[in-house]
Amino acid sequence: MKTIIIALSLISSLFFNKLSAAPREENPVVLAAFQTRFAAAQDAEWTELNGLYKVRFTLDGTVSSAYFNNEGILVAMTHQLSPASLPAALRASLRSEMAGRWVTELFVVETEKGRTWYVTLENADEKLVLQSAAGRKWKNYNATLTL
């Protein structure tokens, strides 16, 4: 009996977690736009962020996020990357920025204006976030944080 109650609790918690992953105020236009554009996407998790609908999902083994406005128009996309997938000029420039740090996060933001790469470098004492500049080098995106 105890096992049945525990199993039912787990199943119901999984079910309700899936329900809470939908946008708080469902927008059928946004949902349809996402499903049309990313039909093979898996593990979609929805949130609302500054008036945009953000959906984090997995597609072809890559974790991505898409940002839609209320009309279902895709505003921006982000993809998590490995340093090997950077353009050659940015990869070479990144090597000179590392200086005893390691990459903890690397992603690209795609908008109608183009692509911008962001990388977070860390060591035991600091965390540095860099943004690509003209697709060839890196610049500080925010102040270095001392840990």
How many distinct structural domains can be found in the chain? 2
What is the average pLDDT across 95-121? 90
Q: What are phi and psi of 15, to 5 degrees?
A: -60, -45
My answer on whether 93 and 61 are in the same domain is no
My answer on whether 132 and 95 are in the same domain is yes
Domain with 126 in it: 81-147
Amino acid code (one letter) for 52: L
* pLDDT tens digits along 43-90: 999 999 888 999 999 999 989 999 999 999 999 999 888 889 899 999
Query: Rounded distance, CA 138 to CA 96, Å?
Result: 10
My answer on whether 120 and 102 are in the same domain is yes
* pLDDT tens digits along 111-146: 888 889 999 999 999 999 999 987 889 999 875 544
Structure tokens at 93: 């420039």
Q: Beta-carbon neighbour count of residue 127 at 10 Å?
A: 17
Does the reported pTM lie above 0.75? no
My answer on whether 60 and 104 are in the same domain is no
* 3-state SS assignment for residue 112: coil
